[in-house]
Amino acid sequence: MQAFFALSRRPGGTFAALTVTLLCLVAIAAPLIAPYGPNAIAPANRLMDPSLQHVLGTDHLGRDILSRLIYGARVALGISLSVIAISLSAGVALGIAAALSPRAVDLAVVGVFDIVTSFPSVILALALVAVFGPGLGNVVLLVSIVFIPHFGRVARAQTIAIRNSPFIEAEKVLGAETWRVVLHHVTPNIIGPIFVLACMDIPVVITIEAGLSFLGLGVRPPLASWGNLLNDGYTYLDQSVWLATFSGLALVLATLGFALLGEALRDTLDPKLRKAL
Amino acid sequence: MRSASLQMHLAFKLATAALAVAGSVVLLMALTRLIPGDPATVILGSRATPEAVAALNARIGLDKPLIEQVFAFFGRLVSGDLGEDVFNGRPVLGLVLNALPNTAALAIAAMLCAVAIGIPLALLCARWPGGKADRLVAFLSVGFISTPSFVVSVFLLMVFSVHLRWFPVLGAGESGDLGDQLWHLVLPTAALAAGWVGYIARLLRSSLLEILGESHVRTLRAYGVSETKILMKYALKPAILPTLAVLGMGFGELLGGAVFAEVIFNRPGLGSLIYDAIRTRNYPVVQGGVFVIVMLYVLTNLIADLSQSLIDPRERARLTSGRGH
Amino acid sequence: MTAALLTIEDLHVSYRGRNSTAHILDGVDVTIGRGQSVGLVGESGSGKSTVAFALLGLLADNAEVSTRRAAFDGHETSLRVEETRALRGTDIAMIFQDPMTALNPMFTIGTQLVDIQRRRFPRESRHWLWARAATMLADVGVPDAAARMNRYPHEFSGGMRQRVVIAMALLVEPKLLIADEPTTALDATIEAQVVEVLQRLRQRTSTSMLVVSHSMGLIAELCDSVVVMYAGTVVEHGPVQVVFSRPRHPYTRALLACEIDPYQAFDPSQDLATIPGTVPDPARRPRGCIFASRCPDRHDRCGERPPHRQAGDARAYSCWQEAS
């Protein structure tokens, strides 16, 4: 936890920590703090400017923008954390396994990684959604695929660096199984870089999910994703700017906060990583 | 004999690139088969008569095993045939080639802007590190880098088109009228370039600072060569290399961002093409469009990779001396 | 007697850190006559390179330099960076330690040799500077010099690169040539070549030289007088033959004892001579004689700073011991 105090010394660090904490709290406590339900339609109140009753205004169906934004935080954080969790586990597992497998298998896995990364991430996500269709579950699974090579490569590189070390040989001679030994030694080395990578990927995932939803290919309405809100705002831009403005701001703050956090973490945990990442 | 190894190196890189593209094609085709339910039925929707389904299956090749489908695709590819639009039979290749220049123009304009602003900014920051300009750029660039480009697009649209009415809202401008087209390019380019300006500025800045601390720069300083000259001649050239690598990758993300920009600003291009095709489940068009984008991406990365090797005289020598890679 | 080219009295250099200040140089005096070659010898951490860097203002930004009096070529100077900067590329030239990293790998040596001359000859054309550089390159013994000008540093061997670096220094026709560990990064055969180049230079020109090295052998070959440094102070100085054959300071004696005589038969039973202990922490310098903690002849008076003692013409040392 001394990392936390070092964090606050960096200029953006405090802002990042505060923003991220705020977002997490908002996401968790959504039902408690949202003044209205996210789907409380009131056509009579459509596209109202900010007022005392609706602090950020209403959207084209009369729903309170602030409440939808709050629930949108849930969607954004929930999806991005799930995606990271899935791609991290799958990627690290694949990476370590590949490094410990026979050369052919290893090459095959590397080939698959290369193929996945030969697509720009957004394009891959679009192609996958084109085939499997939109929806919350689909988005989580499909976007995870995009990020697996990130973690896979780091895990594989670390494992390769370690697998031929003398102390591994020594433990093998004593009868330990290779994979157990390697796992034991690889894990502490990986945690740092993987953690930083995960943190720096969160804003990217948020962006991709919001982008997909913006195009109508992500989370399906009426579920409140910031991307959906931005799209609604864009559609009614000539009638009211508030929806677009606030949903856009939410996205900016979230991505900025997590990006700064990732950078601060990277610099605190290991300044040498600066070059690698 | 001298260029033999260079050719081998090139060939090797091209081969890996081609493999990556081929692999992605296989992936795309495999995906088509994974469409839940019978793909042809899904595509045709309400027009799914048994004859139409059979005809579509034959045309897309879904009635044959994957391997055959892949080979068939490559076979047709060689003759320039990317399949046909599901609905009206127009050749996909034609659609894609029509759309490509618009997207390319946008992506290149954005990249050029990012470079034209980013490099001078980086030089400024590296010349007076820790100074006011440096801190300002550092502060702003994080914001620009992490913000999604479509958010920037919507904001720009909101402020400059809808509110101030300085720029047009829709389209790419009258064809044939270059000035009009350029005017229509301004906002989308700005939206796409914003993030990259920050990224390039910071990356180049840290490369520059690192090089400025090296021995050979100390030699030049010891002889009184001016800091500005050192920075702009002797430090810039080595510092460009890592930035080149990033630009290659960045182009891919630019292409991704172009999809949003084209949709938001209602411009024709590969992005809109793919987007519309996805919504109407026009799979051959999706496949063709994505394929072209992947090819562009791989090609750009290849060029960036090769230019890195060619700029550094040590790499050049290593390649042409035949000592292998 | 003509005035000395360089006179420095009581030079102090320290680095102010966050919690402490490191004193690298503590009252160093150096005098270099015109046409004279002076050697600065000492182990790592003695501060000898710092003296050289201070002359050109190449120390880090947080360095604090002060001197009671300093004069170069008849002009008084405070050795502040603004003043020393004016000497770069015109009056003082420096040969750095490692020729492998001293040149920019992405530019031809011709380009670099031209650019360093610009300060000295600001109005000459590139063509003229290029030709001049090619001639100098041939002068220092680089074969096929004209063609080599278009080559990149990595195409030169270590010894050739050092010659390029020396040529660089000579091109600006300096009054003072500083060589910072010129042979440390080279192997023995190359070292001999470099020494030869420098000796030829001494014969042909009246350039003064300051040679910084931990190799007493090199200094014996190249220098007229020597300044022995330990942990930022001068412990002894004088003509090189005299100091090396009849050292007065215990540190000088110990240093000489550490040198291996290549002509003597190798005796495997004898340990290599060393000086026990380590150099003091520059942030915590001891009061009194700086060498006391490692000195075999230490006694009670060494707790106080020892006086300078003259021992003959132009020779002095700082020790409590009387001349033996």
Contact C119 B229 (CB under 8 A): no
Contact A241 B158 (CB under 8 A): yes
The C-alpha atoms of residue C291 and residue C286 are separated, in whole angstroms, by: 9
Reported as a single tens digit per residue, the pLDDT across A183-196 is 777 777 788 788 88
The partner residue sitting opposite B313, judged by closest CB among C56, C98, C106, is: C106
- Give me B214's structure tokens: 């090296």
Contact B163 A207 (CB under 8 A): no
Task: Summarize the confidence of residues B105-122 as an average pLDDT.
Answer: 91
Query: What's the confidence (pLDDT) of residue C134?
Result: 92
Task: Summarize the confidence of residues A45-72 as an average pLDDT.
Answer: 82
Q: Which residue has the higher pLDDT, B115 or B141?
A: B115
* Count of C-beta atoms within a 10 Å radius of residue C113: 22
Judge B/A contact: 3 or more CB pairs < 8 A: yes
Distant-in-sequence, close-in-space partners of C90: CB < 8 Å, separation ≥ 6: B224, C119, C120, C172, C174
Q: H/E element holding B288?
A: helix B283-311
**pTM metric for this prediction:** 0.80
Contact B312 C107 (CB under 8 A): no
CB contacts of A256 in chain B (<8 Å) are: 142-143, 146-147
Out of A227-231, C260-264, C316-320, give the one with best mean pLDDT: A227-231
Residue of C nearest to B235 (CA): C104
Q: Which CATH number fits domain C6-91+208-216+223-318: 3.30.70.1450, 3.40.50.720, 3.40.50.300, 3.40.605.10?
A: 3.40.50.300
Nearest to B296 by CA among B153, B109, B115, B96: B96
Confidence of residue C15 (pLDDT cuts 50, 70, 90): confident
Task: Summarize the confidence of residues B42-66 as an average pLDDT.
Answer: 65
Query: What's the confidence (pLDDT) of residue B1?
Result: 41
Ranking A116-120, B105-109, B142-146, C268-272 by mean pLDDT, the lowest is C268-272
Query: What's the confidence (pLDDT) of residue B39?
Result: 61
Q: Round the average pLDDT of chain A to a whole number and report it.
A: 82
Q: Which residue has the higher pLDDT, C290 or C147?
A: C147
Q: Round the average pLDDT of chain C to a whole number and report it.
A: 83
3-class DSSP assignment, residue C26: strand
Amino acid at B156: L
Domain boundaries, chain A: 2-42+52-276
CATH architecture of A2-42+52-276: Orthogonal Bundle (1.10)
Length of chain B: 325
Query: What's the confidence (pLDDT) of residue C130?
Result: 93
The C-alpha atoms of residue A14 and residue A274 are separated, in whole angstroms, by: 20
φ/ψ of residue C25, rounded to 5 = -120, 130
Query: What's the confidence (pLDDT) of residue B87?
Result: 65
Distant-in-sequence, close-in-space partners of C30: CB < 8 Å, separation ≥ 6: C6, C7, C8, C11, C38, C40, C51, C210, C227, C234
CB contacts of B236 in chain C (<8 Å) are: none
CB contacts of A234 in chain B (<8 Å) are: 154, 157, 264
Residue B69 has pLDDT above 80, yes or no: no
Contact B216 C104 (CB under 8 A): yes
Confidence of residue A1 (pLDDT cuts 50, 70, 90): very low
Q: Are A47 and A60 in contact (CB under 8 A)?
A: yes
Query: What's the confidence (pLDDT) of residue B324?
Result: 42
ipTM comes to 0.84
The C-alpha atoms of residue C127 and residue A99 are separated, in whole angstroms, by: 57
CB contacts of B225 in chain C (<8 Å) are: 89, 115-116, 118-119
Reported as a single tens digit per residue, the pLDDT across C149-189 is 999 998 888 888 888 998 998 898 889 999 988 877 777 78
Query: What's the confidence (pLDDT) of residue C258?
Result: 76
